[in-house]
Amino acid sequence: MSDAPGTAASGERIALVDVNSFYVSCERAFDPKLAGVPVVVLSNNDGCVVARSDEAKALGIKTGTPWFQLAESAPQVGLIQRSSNYELYGDLSSRVMELLGRYALWQEVYSIDESFLGLAGTPAELDAQGATIRAAVARHTGLPVCVGIGSTKTLAKFANRIAKQNRHLQGVCNLDTMDPVVVDTIMSRVPVTGLWGVGSRLGVRLAALGIESVADLRAADPAMIRRKFSVILQRTVLELNGTSCIPLDDERADRKQLIFSRSFSTPVTTLADMRQVMSIYAQQAAARLEREGQQASVLTAYAGTSHFSTSAASFPSATVRLAAPTSDPVLLSRAAVNALDAQVVEGVPYTKAGVMLSGLEAAGAQPLFEEFVSAQERRNLGELLGRVTDKYGAASIGLGIAGMATAKPEWTMSRKYSSPRYTTEWSELPVVKAN
């Protein structure tokens, strides 16, 4: 095992395993009728496209396209829409990540559908491991994945791209077993903006220096890149040349804020409903803190009316400094509820609200004043709530006015086209009948 998880030791390689069209694939895993047809998954309140199948991409549908622009023509082109089913996607993600960890020396979950793995073996053995991983994920979850293998995270990401775009590779690309001339040719044809971490604005600046392809960036002088751009881009150049220098979770190590924000399907017009919103959002944010092993010392609560509203605009916001860093859902919920009480105007149609936590630090540090540690934190109430909601869904448990109710509040997100929560809700489990 490597001494520094997230970087390859001598003889090790890094694999990037990515679920293909994750949201769409989750829908298809439980609804075979969706296979081979154009499918899009919509954002909160069924607003716009956030995920597309290959068939939908072939129709020219772009990410971010409003659904109302597609709705009329959808039946003619066979386009199927689904609301975002976050409960299903989150549960399948956790199953995939747990399964991938069985095949790795170390694992870094990079996103909901991506994970870096540390692997060891000869190039031929690594090819076989990649194929085994693909087969295992397909067999146990029904989801298709591609595996990219390289000596650095950046090269593993690039190899994953090659695996996705070249079907003859059967979902596995190991740069060590590819002809170097072929790899060089591919790099010369892929624009630099197709590389991990290089956006369109940075691409324009690089193009001004004649750096237009991945091959151009690999050949650039690392010192010059650092001087004109950043140490982060310098690392990318080094990684393209085989020097592993992006350690575990380095991309997010400087995170300073955590935000939980949503738009409402129906405007919130009363202080009582806004208090409920704030309590629920604060508890969701607290659960994220707990999962990431962090505490917050500052909470900001905010709300807002639609920018297109004909009535008076209102954007209340309040920031509270907590007595001590905490992830306690009771304290955070109380702070969020109280923060906006004096600013929310009855009768004003608020369409969005959120809770932002800042001043983040690692949990577990000895508090300066023991009296500020709440009873809930001593009993690990936040951890308990997080485990319950992770296993049984966000509506399974709550505190105070954010607790369970017989019906959803009117303001909750509209998900008109949502599929069942096949794996997290007892009443929606798939039923198999045998003749």
CB of 245 closer than 8 Å to CB of 7: yes
- Residue 289's pLDDT is what? 86
> What does R_g of the chain's alpha carbons equal in angstroms?
24
Mean pLDDT taken over the chain: 83
And the tokens for 399? 């505190």
With a pLDDT cut of 90, the percent of the chain lying above it is 39
- Residue 366's pLDDT is what? 47
Question: Which of residues 7 and 179 earns the better pLDDT score?
Answer: 179
Strand 39-42 with 80-83, pairing: parallel
Tell me, what amino acid is at 295?
Q
Q: What is the mean pLDDT of residues 302-323?
A: 80
Task: Return d(Cα 247, Cα 4) in angstroms, integer.
Answer: 7
Task: Return d(Cα 325, Cα 367) in angstroms, integer.
Answer: 8
Q: Where is mean pLDDT largest: 64-73, 82-91, 389-398?
A: 64-73
**Lowest mean pLDDT segment, chosen from 5-14, 356-365, 386-395:** 386-395
Q: Tens digits of per-residue pLDDT, 31-46? A: 989 999 999 999 877 8
Tell me, what amino acid is at 368?
L
Task: Return d(Cα 42, Cα 50) in angstroms, integer.
Answer: 5
With vertex at residue 121, the alpha carbon angle to CA 214 and CA 243, rounded to the nearest 5 degrees, is 35
Strand 317-326 with 80-83, pairing: unpaired
Q: Tens digits of per-residue pLDDT, 180-194? A: 999 999 999 999 999
Half-sphere exposure of 366 (CA within 13 A, CB side): 1
Task: Return d(Cα 411, Cα 273) in angstroms, integer.
Answer: 8
Question: Which of residues 308 and 32 earns the better pLDDT score?
Answer: 32
Q: What is the mean pLDDT of residues 373-381?
A: 52
